[in-house]
A and B are shown apart, each in its own frame.
Chain A
C-alpha cells in the first residue's frame, strides 16, 4: 500500500530534550515536506526537500532541522524543543513534477512542556 508513515504519532516531552520525528514514504517520491498545523494558522511549511541531499527552508524553519540521506526518509529534528513548538506535524511527499498532489502522513502530535 502506498503510504507516508510518521513516528511517533504522539509525543510529550520537556523543553530542551532533543527529539526526532521520522517520516518514510514507499512511493519513490523525490519531493518531501514537513508542515506544522496550529489552530487559526492552518498548515505552514517548515522544510522541504526536492531530492536526496537537497533541502530548503519553508515558511517557519526556526528551531528545526531536517536531513535527506535516503530518498524514502525525511526526519524532522528538534535540537532543543520549546513550548511554542507544541503542534501537530505532518510529513508529505509527491513526485517532483507533481507537488500539487502531495500525500500526507497521519500526523504527529507533539507537546513540549
Chain B
C-alpha cells in the first residue's frame, strides 16, 4: 500500500540539540499526525494537524502542515534523553479514511 517518505531514517544527537524531521507524500493529505513510540510500548499520538499551514505545539514539540499539503515537519527543541524513540508520521489522503504511515525516524539522544 501507499506509504509516506519519512526522513531521516535515524538520528543520533547530543542532549540539548534541536531536532527536525519531515514526511512527504506524492498525494495531497488532509490530515497529518505525528506519533512517538518508546521502546517496548505502542505509538502515542503527539500532534494532529488538519489545515494547510497549521503550526501546532505540544511542549517542546512543534509540527507543521505543509502549505502544499504534501508534507509535514516535526521539530523538537532542546532534546532530552526521554525524547528517545521512533517518531512516525501518518495521515489521510483525499477522501480515503485509510490511515497511511511513514516508516519512522529513530531518535537517539546522547546525555
Contact = CB atoms under 8 A, between A and B. Distances in A.
Chain A interface, >50% SS class: loop
Interface residues of B, number: 21
A101 B42 CA distance: 13
Contact of B101 (A42, A99, A101, A107): A42
Contacts of A100: 31, 33, 45, 48, 90, 92, 99
A106 B48 CA distance: 21
Nearest to B104: A42
Contact of A106 (B33, B40, B92, B98): B40
A59 interface: yes
Contacts, number: 44
Contacts of A42: 3, 88, 101-104
A106 B99 contact: no
Given A59-B1, A100-B31, A102-B45, A43 B101 contact: yes
Given A99-B97, A100-B31, A105 B92 contact: no
A7 to B, nearest CB: 14
Interface of A: 4, 40-45, 59, 90, 92, 99-102, 104-107
Given A44-B101, A59-B1, A100-B92, 4 more contacts: A43-B43, A100-B99, A101-B45, A106-B41
